[in-house]
Amino acid sequence: MPDWKDQLSQMVYSTDSGRIDPEPEPEDVPEGDGIVRLRRETKGRKGKGVTIVTGLDKPQTELKSIAKKLKQLCGVGGAVKEYEIELQGDQRDSIESWLKKEGYKVKRAGG
């Protein structure tokens, strides 16, 4: 039977190398033409309209913070999907005025 001292000398866990976190990959933000476009869409939403904001050349984290501000401004729900901000209802007027105040060039797209 091996001695108990031999069992203690075997390393079970080591923090020698520290934590190994993978390097975050750079986010591939789609480039726009510098114009933020607002459009209203109802297709595939059972007749419920949403306002979609596209053309903001920002990473997802910044888009989420902008979406949060817009949702609070309009008092509605929404989400960020594939570099587009979706807000419930027709909010184009209030969104357009806020974006212009923030210094963005804004166009309405669609009808």
Q: What is the mean pLDDT of the chain?
A: 85
Is 93 within a domain? yes
Nearest partner of 51 among 82, 78, 30, 31, judged by Cα? 78
**Block residue for tokens 């909010």:** 91
Is 82 within a domain? yes
Is 80 within a domain? yes
Is 78 within a domain? yes
pLDDT reading at 63 higher than 90: yes
Is 55 within a domain? yes
Helix or strand run (H / E) with residue 94: helix 92-101
Number of folded domains that form the chain: 1
The model's pTM? 0.73
Is 6 within a domain? no
Which residue range is the domain that position 101 belongs to? Answer: 35-111
Cα–Cα distance, 9 to 39 (Å, whole number): 68
Tally: H helices and E strands in the chain: 3, 5
Nearest partner of 82 among 44, 26, 25, 28, judged by Cα? 28
What whole-number percentage of the chain has pLDDT above 70? Answer: 81
For residue 64, the domain's CATH number is 3.30.780.10
Cα–Cα distance, 60 to 102 (Å, whole number): 18
Q: What is the pLDDT of residues 68-82, one digit of tens each?
A: 999 999 999 999 998
